Amino acid sequence: MKSRGEKLEEHIQQAREYWDELKPQPRYVVLCNFDEFWIYDTTLQLEEPVNRVKLEELPQRYAALNFLFAGNSDVDEHRGNYYENIPPSGAVQLFGREQELGRLHQLLNPSAHLTKGGEQQNKLTIAAIVGMGGVGKTELAMRYAWQHLQGLGDGAGGVCWVDARDGDVGIQLVNFARSLLNLNPPEDWDLSTQLKYCWRNWQPGDWLIVIDDVTNYRQQVNPYKPPESSQFKVLLTTREELGRPVEHLALNKLQPEAALDLLTSLVGAEQIQKEIDIAEQLCRQLLDYLPLGLELVGRYLERDPDLSLKAMLSLLEKKRLRHKSVLEAGSTMTARLGVADAFELSWERLEENAQFLGCLLSLFASADIPWDLVKLAYSNMPSSEDEEIDLDILEEARADLVHFNLLQRIGQGSYRLHQLIRQFLQEKREQSAKVNTCKQGFVSAMVAVAKRVPDSPTRQQLQAVAPAIPHVAEVAKDRDLRDLLSDEDLIKPFTGLGSFYEGKGLYDQAKPWFEQCLFFTQARFGSDHHCVATSQNNLALLYNSQGRYSEAEPLFLQALELHKRLLGENHPNVANNLNNLATLYENQGRYSEAEPLFLQALDLTQRLQGEAAPLVAATLNNLVSLYENQGRYSEAEPLLGRALELAQRWLGETHPIVSVSLSNLAKLYHSQERYSEAESLFLQALELSTLLRGKDHPDVATNLNNLANLYNFQGRYSEAEPLLLQAIQLAQQLLGEDHPDVATNLNNLANLYNFQGRYSEAEPLFLQALELTKRLLGENHPKVATSLNNLASLYSFQERYSEAEPLFLQALELTKRLLGEDHPQVAASLTNLAKLYCYQGRYSEAEPLFLQALELTNRLRGEEHPDLAENMSSLANICYLQGRYREAEPMLAKALDIYHRCLGSDHPQTVSCRDNLAILHDILNSTAINLPNFNQKVKKSNSKKKGKGFGKG
């Protein structure tokens, strides 16, 4: 290597001069200045360098240059010991093939060829590098050939390289023997005899015979292979799968990191780093890590340094395999063909049926293709009545594609096309006379799959259709395929895709499919069509699940009006719309508007479809939820029992509606303080929802939250906290940061911290939940009142009374206005405000509020409820603080009795009440003047009370 500081203006002339100066004359000459290195291969030409290397890239390229210099020194120095005719390589470095080189060495040097004594058997070894066109088989063979030479050391042997594309393999072998080994068989002998002569007289040593690009083993290899001798090893490169005795090395596309390294070596690290995301997308999405494609595009970018990777990506997206960057191989490349021409060689050798199958497969997405789906598409292709579908033809065609490495087997019953092969086959498909036959069969198959996705799929149903989902999406995305959908089937791919992602709780991924469904149905049918109403309803349901209520309502109303007009008032679709609209109103806290709609939907469904219809159980559950929110527990319980019984009888024990029914019944028992029954049902609901939906689903997050809330109310804080944290993480992951469920979970976690006295952790969560609830649900929603109550309770416990009072008053006013005067939440708000006044010594203002709360709780909850016990305990405290001990004692005793029966003897509320009653008894039995004050103990107890005043979230 020579170096100069000046600019090298005349590279060719200087290369010649340097080459002449060096003795012995090397194969490679490398020139450099301060900026770049130019590498010349004298056996190829001295007109153009075979590669250029940026100076800053030299450390990464050091291994490649060492390899070149090994060729300079070793080959010439030991020329008398070994021989080679390895063609020049256009690659400076081989990326990502280290494991393949090692595996190839193992295949060609198997330990199985050793005798029992450890001696080498006299046996010929044949191995083949097998892979699709452009995957780098020849380059790997070259690199292994040089590795073989370097491994000889001072020993004899060499490499004989034969290109099966350049003519008869036997003639090339004889010519090598004549020109390099000085073997001269008589020319009047036939080729077979000449070659046998050469093999018998071949130079001794360790020989590698490389036959590149074999297309017919029987004709190109079998007649000419060396004799059975350990002296020879044969390495083939081929696109075809070969049988025994040939050992196979399957060469696949590069790994992502190696692909990026290859592109970087050609384009330069600076440009790649500036557009790293585009570079990765180029490697992955358009070139699919194929070495030939990467090298062609890299060299094209190298020739035009002003062309950005983003512009290159855009050009390839538009022109694909027809873009000039991938059409032709450069003169200095190892590959001779562009990408399309490389694939064309394999295409031409396919049977007609295999070509047709390739066209059909090109319609599938760039994803794993289930073979059953291909058979379904093939079976759905239009045919005459007397024409029989022969699937055996399909199996034979598949074997042909796999044989020529145009189709890759991924696993049992699963196949995949390389992205560039897929593009090549798409071009062939559009040129085919049977293009419409392929498309119609494919579209029909994907519609059939989409119909398998129910509105509320279970995990098992989702898993069954998951491999087909990318292929269904191809029909929805492609205009030509959409146009083949019948009017009846137009919505099917979109609803199937939307329901699939919604069923997984991936609402953001479901949204574009439901939105596109509405867009395309309106584009085809106009505004007055039942498919438009269905599309509006489906999109509104998704918006409702996302908490986007203002966007959902007009769509629900439009769908309801359209279905009534087109289908009449008495139709199941109308009942479904009524139920969905009522659910929206319930979520918005518009209970008076929701109830009549639920009742209409229930009556209509029962009349039209009977009690076995899933919508009956679903509507009953929704009505129960509404009654619970209104505090109408006596009306809710019988409906719940009926809903659960209907769901289990008609839908089976393992159905999502059964899980909802169990959860609703558990919430009812929770509100009634029947904790042991509630816990059992919550656990059943959680187990069932996890079984049906998978662990990453919003329903699971809801059940985790409900169970944690129960534990929180029972004072089982260590069990509640991890469940709440898990529910928050899951809800944020699946629903996003801005969702009402997230606000609910934050509220409940803050409550937990509040009850534990962890006020600094609770306050920011309460504030975050309040802000989120107001923003998502509006200022006038019952959950806003709950959030205000929670925050005010925190301030009260911290003795920040001036901040707490206006929040309590605001919560009380909002609760009365939204839920009415007779609601458990009103009683809870009255209790909280009364406690605040009690803490401030404002007993005359506190007592009437406690009395109102006590009367309301007794009327709504009954005489056996912890909320009633809490009100009694609070009134007892008022009496105690005013010295009215004998009035306090029976109320406190009654409260303890209720706590003991409802919460158990070890619950914090029970313990606190028992301690306070003991203090009161001491007072009544004492004549001491300075008596202890149990107000602080009661206050502490209140700070840990999880009653409705602190909010259920």
Q: What are the pLDDT digits (tens) for 607-662?
A: 999 988 888 989 999 999 888 877 677 788 899 889 888 888 888 888 888 998 99
pLDDT score recorded for residue 242: 83
Q: Is the predicted pLDDT of residue 449 greater than 90, yes or no?
A: yes
Pairwise CA distance, residues 320 & 35, whole Å: 34
Nearest to 236 by CA among 217, 223, 255: 217
Paired tokens of 237: 């490169």
One domain for residues 37 and 67: yes
Nearest to 926 by CA among 885, 895, 888: 885
Total structural domains within the chain? 4
- Looking at the DSSP bridge assignments, the partners of residue 210 are 161, 235
Final residue of a structural domain among 283, 309, 333: 333
Q: Is the predicted pLDDT of residue 545 greater than 50, yes or no?
A: yes
Could you give the 3-state DSSP secondary structure of residue 271? helix
One domain for residues 928 and 887: yes
One domain for residues 789 and 890: yes
Does residue 699 belong to any structural domain of this protein? no
pTM, full prediction: 0.71
Residue the block writes with tokens 């007289």: 201
Nearest to 573 by CA among 234, 310, 581: 581
Pairwise CA distance, residues 268 & 302, whole Å: 8
Question: Confidence class of residue 481 from pLDDT cuts 50, 70 and 90?
Answer: very high
Average pLDDT over residues 466-487: 96
Q: Is the predicted pLDDT of residue 175 greater than 60, yes or no?
A: yes
One domain for residues 60 and 121: no
CA dihedral of residues 432, 434, 436, 438 (deg, nearest 10): -100
- Sheet with 414-416, edge to edge strand ranges: 369-370, 414-416, 408-411
* Position 492, amino acid: K
Average pLDDT over residues 578-603: 92
Q: What are the pLDDT digits (tens) for 179-199?
A: 888 899 998 899 999 999 999
Final residue of a structural domain among 303, 333, 363: 333
743, 773 Cβ separation under 8 angstroms? yes
CATH number at residue 199: 3.40.50.300
Nearest to 446 by CA among 402, 500, 401: 500
In a 10 Å sphere around its CB, with 0-12 CB exposed, 13-18 middle and 19+ buried, how is residue 604 labelled? buried
Question: Confidence class of residue 482 from pLDDT cuts 50, 70 and 90?
Answer: very high
Sign of the torsion formed by the C-alpha atoms of 777, 780, 783 and 786: positive
Does residue 908 belong to any structural domain of this protein? yes
Does residue 835 belong to any structural domain of this protein? yes
| Per-residue CA distances from 363 to 187, 395, 675, 766, 896 (Å) | 55, 18, 57, 52, 73
Pairwise CA distance, residues 869 & 743, whole Å: 30
* Position 837, amino acid: Y
One domain for residues 276 and 246: no
DSSP state of 156: -
One domain for residues 835 and 907: yes
Letter string b/e over residues 901-921, b meaning 16 or more CB atoms within 10 A of that residue's CB: ebbeeebbbbebbebbbebbe
- Looking at the DSSP bridge assignments, the partners of residue 208 are 159, 233
Paired tokens of 29: 């000459």
One domain for residues 301 and 238: no
Does residue 497 belong to any structural domain of this protein? no
pLDDT score recorded for residue 546: 82
Instruction: Check whether the bond before 245 is cis (ω within 30° of 0).
Output: yes
Residue numbers of the domain that contains 815: 779-950
* Position 716, amino acid: R
One domain for residues 18 and 103: no
Q: How is the chain split among helix, strand and coil, in percent rounded to 5?
A: 65, 5, 30
Does residue 560 belong to any structural domain of this protein? no
Who contacts 571 (Cβ-Cβ below 8 Å, separation ≥6)?
563, 608
One domain for residues 225 and 267: no
Q: Is the predicted pLDDT of residue 7 greater than 80, yes or no?
A: no
Does residue 322 belong to any structural domain of this protein? yes
Out of 71-80, 354-363, 603-612, 692-701, least confident range: 71-80
pLDDT score recorded for residue 362: 96
Q: Is the predicted pLDDT of residue 721 greater than 90, yes or no?
A: yes
Does residue 181 belong to any structural domain of this protein? yes
pLDDT score recorded for residue 770: 95
Pairwise CA distance, residues 777 & 587, whole Å: 9
Final residue of a structural domain among 279, 302, 333: 333
> What DSSP string runs through 606-650?
HHHH-TTSHHHHHHHHHHHHHHHHTT-HHHHHHHHHHHHHHHHHH
| HEC profile of 517-545 | HHHHHHHHHCCCCHHHHHHHHHHHHHHHH
One domain for residues 69 and 154: no
Q: Which helix (H) or strand (E) holds 53?
A: strand 51-54
CB atoms within 10 A of CB 734: 21
pLDDT score recorded for residue 336: 59
CATH number at residue 801: 1.25.40.10
* Position 950, amino acid: F
452, 460 Cβ separation under 8 angstroms? no
Question: Confidence class of residue 458 from pLDDT cuts 50, 70 and 90?
Answer: confident
One domain for residues 793 and 885: yes
One domain for residues 142 and 40: no
Out of 60-74, 129-143, 505-519, 875-889, least confident range: 60-74
Q: Is the predicted pLDDT of residue 289 greater than 90, yes or no?
A: no
Nearest to 109 by CA among 125, 98, 97: 125
Residue the block writes with tokens 């000419």: 224
Q: Is the predicted pLDDT of residue 391 greater than 80, yes or no?
A: yes
Rg (the chain; Cα; Å): 40
| Per-residue CA distances from 201 to 197, 367, 490, 629 (Å) | 6, 53, 74, 98
Letter string b/e over residues 775-812, b meaning 16 or more CB atoms within 10 A of that residue's CB: ebbeeebbbbbbbbbbbbbbbbbbeebeebbebbebbb
CA angle, corner 144, sides to 140 and 150, nearest 5?
A: 150
Pairwise CA distance, residues 687 & 659, whole Å: 9
Pair type for strands 28-32 and 36-41? antiparallel
Strand positions, DSSP E, 253-379 = 369-370
User: In residues, how long is the chain?
Assistant: 953
| Per-residue CA distances from 598 to 445, 505, 583, 586, 668 (Å) | 38, 25, 8, 10, 19
- Looking at the DSSP bridge assignments, the partners of residue 264 are none
Q: Is the predicted pLDDT of residue 575 greater than 80, yes or no?
A: yes
Sign of the torsion formed by the C-alpha atoms of 573, 577, 579 and 580: positive
Max Cα-Cα span within the chain: 139
Average pLDDT over residues 153-177: 90
Pairwise CA distance, residues 93 & 334, whole Å: 12
Pairwise CA distance, residues 518 & 55, whole Å: 57
Does residue 36 belong to any structural domain of this protein? yes
- N- to C-terminal Cα distance for the chain? 77
